[in-house]
Structure 1
Amino acid sequence: MKPKFLYLFLFIISINCTKTTNNDAFIKQVAGRYLFDSDQVIEVYFKDKVLLLTWKGIKDIKPMKFDDDTFFVKEMNEKITFKTNPEDQKEYLVLLPKEDDAEITFNFKKLEKNEFTPSEYLANDNYEKALAGYIAIQQKDSLNIAVNENEMNAIGYYHLEKNETQKAIHVLKINAVLHPNSDNVFDSLGEAYFKSGDTLQAIANYKKALAIDSGNRRAKNVVDRFDKK
């Protein structure tokens, strides 16, 4: 057998012979949720002591195990491990560098049990913490998709279409705080208040939209109609 084929054969055998299960200490150490980006997480969990991931909505991703703490995730096309960062003593999910001599980057920090992303706070109707989280993201990166005006507006209208008017109002109020110079966010908030039956707040927000852009036709039509009454 030629050397390169022998090496490949032994490599495949070594993978197949590696146990897929993990010990209790490792499971306790790494199970949890890791901050993938500003508003998404990677969930690490175990079934029958086999490591699984949930990432970007894909559940039960089963990485290939190389050794006790190293795995290959084909969905990411990345080799991962878990390490404690000496700077903050926190656990991290680490993408192993492609080059052997490259420095390791501590990529994704493990979240505390009571720590959530802004969108998770939003889903759980914790609007105060959701707003604080979104403001923090915006301060670091104003172009981050998580605080995009149109994306947030779409979430508000999603709730409006489901007749969840109070949720829509809360979402659109957050959008108004994040984008106070946009007539569109106040126009949308006015619409949500109208649908909830709160005409006074609806008119107030339409007037805010007009103050930003006097050419906002819908806001002008609504305000003019009620001012004539």
Structure 2
Amino acid sequence: MKTKLTLLLSFFILLSCSTKTSSEDFINKATGRYYFNDDEIIEVFFNDAELYLKWRNQEIKPLKVNDSTFYASELNEKLIFNNNKNRIELAKKREHHGKTYFFNKLDKNEKTPSEYLADNNFEKALEGYLAIKEKDSLSKIIRERNLNSLGYRYLRNDSVQKAIQVFTINTKLYPNSSNVYDSLGDAYLKAKDTTNAKENYKKALSINAENENAKRNLEDLTKNDK
């Protein structure tokens, strides 16, 4: 009797362990990078056939509910893999207020706008940020002050060309803002490109004649011409 109980217990232990793993077909289809939002990624990978997530510098091991559903306590969400549509759907709950949420899978070589920017692919980064603006003009991802702060961080770290790229993107997103041209002027000034610095300070002043930084720097640059 004891032997039977031991064998039965061993069977259930093996069964519970096996349910943590996923099939090869599921692994192949589910592995990849998904949009958590328009400029942030949640990555799905497997270790010993068990599903893991990488998100915001965290490694998360969700609890497997069934073959396609996992619960991630860090997100407080139940993730349902719809591999036919290449996306992760969030199980409906009261907090969603009837709205359907899902994370679309990125194509093999697809990147987020900030990733393209990090790779110095200015055109793709700009294309991505403009697409976000068209979809949601109030998205915090493309807030003028956020991008401006990013540009100045690059400038302080002497990544001048990267700062120029960020500020240029901001001028495309907010062409009627004096501040974005003023910032771009600052970046060109640090790059010792006085021609483009003057041009952008002038543009800033054409939008807002009271922009003191642009006014002061343009006057200094003009004095040097005399």
TM exceeds 0.5? Answer: yes
Determine the C-alpha separation between the residues in 1 that align with 2:173 and 2:121: 17
Determine the C-alpha separation between the residues in 1 that align with 2:140 and 2:208: 25
Aligned to 2:156: 161
Q: CA deviation at 1:225?
A: 2.6
- Number of residue pairs matched by the alignment: 209
CA distance 1:156–1:104, change in 2 (3 Å): closer
Determine the C-alpha separation between the residues in 1 that align with 2:213 and 2:81: 54
Determine the C-alpha separation between the residues in 2 that align with 1:139 and 1:206: 28
Select the residue among 118, 126, 130 that pairs with 2:121. Answer: 126
The residue identity in structure 1 corresponding to 2:181 is: F
SS in 2 for 1:163: coil
Determine the C-alpha separation between the residues in 1 that align with 2:149 and 2:143: 10
Instruction: Give 4+ residue runs of structure 1 displaced > 6 Å after superposition.
Output: none
Report the more deviating stretch, 189-198 or 57-66.
Answer: 57-66
Aligned to 1:149: 144
Alignment of 1:210 onto 2:209: no
Determine the C-alpha separation between the residues in 2 that align with 1:198 and 1:103: 53
CA distance 1:143–1:106, change in 2 (3 Å): closer
Q: CA deviation at 1:104?
A: 9.4
Does the CA-based 8 Å contact 1:92-1:106 persist in structure 2? no
The residue identity in structure 1 corresponding to 2:36 is: F
SS in 1 for 2:89: strand
Please, which runs of 5 or more residues in structure 1 have no aligned partner?
1-12
Select the residue among 160, 177, 181 that pairs with 1:182. Answer: 177
Aligned to 1:46: 46
Determine the C-alpha separation between the residues in 2 that align with 1:104 and 1:68: 24
Identity %: 47
Determine the C-alpha separation between the residues in 2 that align with 1:36 and 1:218: 38
Q: CA deviation at 1:90?
A: 2.6
Which aligned pairs between 1:52-201 and structure 2 lie closer than 5 A?
Answer: 52-55=52-55, 57-84=56-83, 89-98=84-93, 105=100, 107-201=102-196
Q: CA deviation at 1:103?
A: 8.6
TM-score calculated relative to the size of structure 1: 0.85
The residue identity in structure 1 corresponding to 2:191 is: S
Determine the C-alpha separation between the residues in 2 that align with 1:140 and 1:81: 25
Q: CA deviation at 1:25?
A: 1.1
List per-residue Cα deviations over 1:118-165 (Å, max 9, x = no partner). 111111111101101111110111110111101111111111111010
Determine the C-alpha separation between the residues in 2 that align with 1:103 and 1:147: 27
Alignment of 1:23 onto 2:44: no
What is the Cα-based RMSD across aligned positions, in Å? 2.2
Q: CA deviation at 1:59?
A: 2.4
List per-residue Cα deviations over 1:77-120 (Å, max 9, x = no partner). 11111014xxxx53110111238xx9994611111101111111
The residue identity in structure 2 corresponding to 1:79 is: K
Aligned to 2:5: none
Does the CA-based 8 Å contact 1:135-1:178 persist in structure 2? yes
SS in 2 for 1:90: coil
Does the CA-based 8 Å contact 1:96-1:104 persist in structure 2? no
SS in 1 for 2:79: strand
Q: CA deviation at 1:224?
A: 2.1
Does the CA-based 8 Å contact 1:118-1:130 persist in structure 2? yes
TM-score calculated relative to the size of structure 2: 0.86
Q: CA deviation at 1:186?
A: 0.8
Please, which runs of 5 or more residues in structure 2 have no aligned partner?
1-11
The residue identity in structure 2 corresponding to 1:22 is: S
